[in-house]
Amino acid sequence: MPIKQIGHARQVKNKHNAWIYVAPMQEAQTYCRELAARPNALQLTGVLQGADGWLGKASRVQADASAKTGLDNQARAEADAMAAQVEPCRAAIAKALSAGVAPTTTLELKTAGSIALADADAKVCTALDSAAKAIVAIEDAKLEKLLAPYKAALKGERLKTFIDRKMIFDDVYGPGGSRLDTPKKLATARAWFIVLSGDVGLGLKTVTVRRYKWSGNKLGGVAERTGCCTL
């Protein structure tokens, strides 16, 4: 038996000379019946412990995001990881309840503490969802502040392209290679150029120059040229 907490369990060496736990068959059968009486409880515990672990990190991540005046990509990535735990958390609870685990079953969690299964959705899953959304809201507010001058200067398809392609994170160049590093320059340039790279293996990268051609605020076309290779 792998569970050392069973009554008269003791360690012995098996035929492979590895230490294992063994226990009297009657005690092992009792233990197995106890597990059978609460189906999916072990899976539920694992999922909840994972979500609860992220919940324990949430206040620190939110504080870091609030303290940083610029965009905090790490905070956003961690918020996305938290959000990814929410639905599995809820699904595990629903599965356990439908399989017969009593709503009054007590769960011991590091962050949420000692809670009943009936309260797990609100105190773990929903709490984690709210924490993730709060972090994303902080980062969205910072991004909106950065975009404000561009929204004031750019119009029509220039603005739509700039936002949809997330070009605030790109170095954008104009004809002749000059940096378009202000909203005004982006609003008046007859073309935008961005430089992209891609891996081709052995440490080599392709270089792609993409051009956005403008006719006023209307996008006249997008073209690109790729060359190889750089280190």
User: Of 148, 165, 188, which one is at a domain's C-terminal end?
Assistant: 148
Give the phi and the psi of residue 178 in degrees, each rounded to 5.
-75, 145
Q: Please report which residue ranges of the chain form alpha helices under DSSP H.
A: 25-36, 41-67, 73-98, 117-120, 127-153, 156-164, 183-188
Q: How crowded is residue 173: how many other Cβ atoms within 10 Å of its Cβ?
A: 19
Q: What is the pLDDT of residues 174-229, one digit of tens each?
A: 999 999 999 999 999 999 999 998 887 777 888 999 999 999 999 999 999 998 87
Q: What is the pLDDT of residues 101-150, one digit of tens each?
A: 889 999 999 999 999 999 999 999 999 999 999 999 999 999 999 999 99
Q: Number of folded domains in the chain? A: 2
**Mean pLDDT, range 59-63, rounded to an integer:** 97
Q: 58, 9, 3, 56: which is closest to 34 by C-alpha?
A: 3
Looking at the fold, whether 137 and 86 belong to one and the same domain comes out as: yes
Q: Supply the pLDDT for residue 1.
A: 46
- pLDDT of residue 51 exceeding 90, the answer is yes
Looking at the fold, whether 134 and 166 belong to one and the same domain comes out as: no
Cα 34 to Cα 45: distance, rounded to the nearest angstrom: 16
Question: In which domain, by residue range, is 213 found?
Answer: 156-230
Question: What are the tokens at 81?
Answer: 């990881």
Looking at the fold, whether 142 and 167 belong to one and the same domain comes out as: no
Tell me the angle at which helices 127-153 and 41-67 cross, rounded to the nearest 10 degrees. 40
**Mean pLDDT, range 158-167, rounded to an integer:** 96
User: Is the whole model's pTM more than 0.75, yes or no?
Assistant: no
